[in-house]
Amino acid sequence: MKKVNFIHLRSKFALLLLVFLLTFSTTLYSQDAPAADVTADAGGDVAAGESLFKANCAACHKLDQKAVGPALRGVGEKFDRDWLYKWIHNSQALIAAGDAQAVKLFEENNKAVMTAFPALSEADIDNILAYTDQPKAAPVAAAGGEATTSTAGEGGGSVSNTLVIGALALIFLLLVIMLFLVTNTLKRIAAANGVVYEEKEKRTPLWKAFVQNQFLVVVFSIFLLLAAGYFAYGYMMQIGVDQGYAPVQPIHYSHRIHAGDNQIDCNFCHSSARKSKHSGIPSLNVCMNCHKNISEVAPETATEEYSKEFYDGEIAKLYKAVGWDPENQEYTGKTEPVKWVRIHNLPDFAYFNHSQHVTVAGIACQTCHGEIQEMEVVEQFAPLTMGWCINCHRETNVNLATNDYYAKIHEELSKKYGIEKVTIAEMGGLECGKCHY
């Protein structure tokens, strides 16, 4: 019933798309990128070092950027290996012992105390250092380069496409002009030769015949009215229903990356969904819990559509909004609250409470919001119409057994009516006043 008036358009579009895909199918396959090779380094196992680094160091250190601690790329070459062992095993002891280099380093880094890692063996440290001493990643550049080439390729495809269509159109035009010229010439020749055309007998035009046939007219009118009614109804019913509404947000926040790839629980950020009517848009300090340390995305996060640079730029937008200076690792105090565009808009006269559904009923977020963990850009999944609400209330049973609130009601129901299961509707969940006040 939705947007029926576009059915035609859609089918045409699909046809065009098919033609287009068939024509350029080769370019689609050409985008399979070869996996970047990780080169091994002498003096330690880089792969083992990487996993150790991520497990132990990445909370405070980055390779090329200052985080809580300094950037670590090339650190193995800067310092003496034995000194590094000592420092990593217990930096505070080294400082306490008055080691000049250690004290200097401590002072340079705002006297941030580094956790001691006595458990790391010297071999482990070698592995980590092998990882950190790798030259600045070629793979990153390669990935970037590939992204650009792929877009260029796509751009080229569309250019040739228009070219071909243009050429075809030109040829067609030429043919039409030629045909016109030829007929004219032929007519002139015929006139010169005195050939006389035989005039065709005039037949009743089709439309006149149609108009004269009253039965057809009546049937057609009825059909037309019904069809118009059908489409009008379909159109009217989707007014104010914004299913599929996916506005552009001031910061391109990807639920795919957070809820999907990184499997962060929805309630971690939308914590008030458990106790309030609002699910709550997380305040920016919640973002900074993680993003204080995550200033860039991993290369593999990037997709064809959105490059790593794009995502890093979005994180930079967050820093600007929250007033975080990533260079000096401090808050500037200059904040710019983010004006998100609200996607799910219930009218004022409808009361909806998240905690009722999330905490009491235990409904998964996806039931109403769709597979949010796969959405790069969030869109309104459900129609949010009253019919949609009510339908669910009619079909869903109330969980009587595990909630003590329902204990008495449950007992009375089973005693009085022998009922063990009730739907929300039977509990009064369809009453107007439950949602409209």
Partner 1 sequence: MASNKKYWKSVEELKEDSAIVKALQDNEFVTEIPTDEFLGDKKTLESSSTTRRDFLKYVGFTTAAATLAACEGPVVKSIPYVVQPDEIVPGVANYYASTMADGFDFANVLVKTREGRPIKIERNDLAVNGGGSANARVHASILSLYDKNRLVGPMLDGAAVTWPEFDTAVAQKMNDMAGKDIVLLTQTFASPSTSKLISEFTAKYPNVRHVVYDSVSCSGALDAFQNKYGTRALPDYDFSKAEVIVSVGADFLGDWQGGSYSKGYAQGRIPKNGKMSRHIQFEANLTLTGGKADKRVPATPTQQVQILKALTGGSASGLPANIADAVDKAKAQLQKAGSKALLVTNLPDVASQTLALNFNANSEAIDVNKPLLIRQASNSEVMNVVNGVVSGTVKGLITVGVDPAYSLPNTKEFNEAYQKLEMSLAFAMRLDATASMAKMVAATPHYLESWGDAQIKKGTYSLTQPTIRPLFNTRQFQDCLLQWTGNSQKYYDYLKETWTTSILSGGSWSQALHDGFIASNAEVKMEEVNPTMEGAGVMEEATSNGALSFSMQEGGYDLTLYTSTGLGDGQQANNPWLQEFPDPITRASWDNYLTVSAADAEALDLVNEHVSNGALNGSYVNVKSGNIVIENVPVIIQPGQAKGSVGLALGYGKTAAIQEEMQTGVNAFPLYQNFSNIQKVSIEKASGMHEFACVQLQSTMAGRSEDIIKETTLEIFNTKDKSLWNSIPVTDYDHSPISVRDKKADIWSPFEDTVGHHFNLSIDLNACTGCGACVIACHAENNVPVVGKEEVRKFRDMHWLRIDRYYSAGDTFKEEIETLENLPAFDTYKVVEVPAYENPQVAFQPVMCQHCNHAPCETVCPVAATSHGRQGQNQMAYNRCVGTRYCANNCPYKVRRFNWFLYAENDEFDYNMNNDLGRMVLNPDVNVRSRGVMEKCSLCIQMTQKTILDAKREGRPVKDGEFQTACSNACETGALVFGDVNDKESEVLKLKDNDRMYHLLENVGTKPNVFYQAIIKNTSEA
335 binds partner 1 (CB under 8 A): yes
Of the candidates 342, 322, 341, the residue with the CA atom closest to the CA atom of residue 333: 322
Question: Contacting partner 1 (CB under 8 A), which of 197, 203, 408, 418?
Answer: 408
In 103-125, which positions are buried (b, 16+ CB within 10 angstroms) versus exposed (e)?
A: eebbeebeeeebeebeebeeebb
428 binds partner 1 (CB under 8 A): yes
Distance CA 327, CA 325 (A): 6
Distance CA 184, CA 346 (A): 67
Nearer to partner 1 (CB atom), residue 54 or residue 342: 342
Question: Contacting partner 1 (CB under 8 A), which of 113, 179, 182, 341?
Answer: 341
276 binds partner 1 (CB under 8 A): yes
Helix (H, G, I), strand (E, B) or coil at 129: helix
Nearer to partner 1 (CB atom), residue 111 or residue 339: 339
Nearer to partner 1 (CB atom), residue 54 or residue 275: 275
* Nearest distance in Å: CB 8, partner 1: 20
Nearer to partner 1 (CB atom), residue 66 or residue 317: 317
286 binds partner 1 (CB under 8 A): yes
- Beta carbons within 8 Å of 251's beta carbon, 6+ residues apart: 314, 317, 318, 321, 338
389 binds partner 1 (CB under 8 A): no
282 binds partner 1 (CB under 8 A): yes
Question: Contacting partner 1 (CB under 8 A), which of 22, 348, 387, 401?
Answer: 348
Distance CA 96, CA 88 (A): 14
Q: Candidates 129-137, 216-224, 270-278, 388-396: pick the segment binding partner 1 (CB under 8 A).
A: 270-278
* Nearest distance in Å: CB 358, partner 1: 10
Distances (CA, A) of 175 to 167, 168, 182, 184, 372: 12, 10, 10, 14, 53
Nearer to partner 1 (CB atom), residue 288 or residue 375: 288
* Nearest distance in Å: CB 436, partner 1: 5
Question: Contacting partner 1 (CB under 8 A), which of 278, 298, 362, 397?
Answer: 278
- Does residue 308 contact residue 301 with C-beta atoms inside 8 Å? yes
* Nearest distance in Å: CB 330, partner 1: 15
Q: Candidates 2-10, 131-139, 239-247, 298-306: pick the segment binding partner 1 (CB under 8 A).
A: 239-247
Residue 165: count of CB within 10 angstroms of its CB: 10
- Beta carbons within 8 Å of 346's beta carbon, 6+ residues apart: 352, 384
Question: Contacting partner 1 (CB under 8 A), which of 92, 353, 396, 423?
Answer: 353
Number of amino acids touching partner 1 (CB under 8 A): 57
At which residue do the structure tokens 């006269």 appear?
A: 349
36 binds partner 1 (CB under 8 A): no
- Beta carbons within 8 Å of 275's beta carbon, 6+ residues apart: 355, 359
436 binds partner 1 (CB under 8 A): yes
433 binds partner 1 (CB under 8 A): yes
Question: Contacting partner 1 (CB under 8 A), which of 26, 135, 405, 418?
Answer: 405
Alpha-carbon torsion, ordered 94, 100, 103, 105, to 10 deg: -110
Nearer to partner 1 (CB atom), residue 105 or residue 321: 321
240 binds partner 1 (CB under 8 A): yes
* Nearest distance in Å: CB 157, partner 1: 34
Distances (CA, A) of 205 to 108, 202, 258: 95, 9, 66
Q: How many CA atoms lie within 13 A of 64 on its CB side?
A: 7
Work out the burial of residue 192: count CB atoms within 10 Å of its CB; fewer than 13 is exposed, 13-18 middle, 19 or more buried: exposed
337 binds partner 1 (CB under 8 A): yes
Q: Candidates 114-122, 198-206, 256-264, 402-410: pick the segment binding partner 1 (CB under 8 A).
A: 402-410
Check the CA dihedral 112-262-65-88 and report its sign.
positive
How large is the greatest C-alpha to C-alpha distance in the chain, in angstroms?
121
* Nearest distance in Å: CB 224, partner 1: 20
Question: Contacting partner 1 (CB under 8 A), which of 90, 303, 403, 423?
Answer: 403
| Site for partner 1, rule CB under 8 A | 239-240, 242, 245, 247, 272, 275-278, 280-286, 321-323, 335, 337-342, 345, 347-351, 353, 355-356, 359-360, 402-409, 412-413, 416, 427-428, 431-434, 436-437
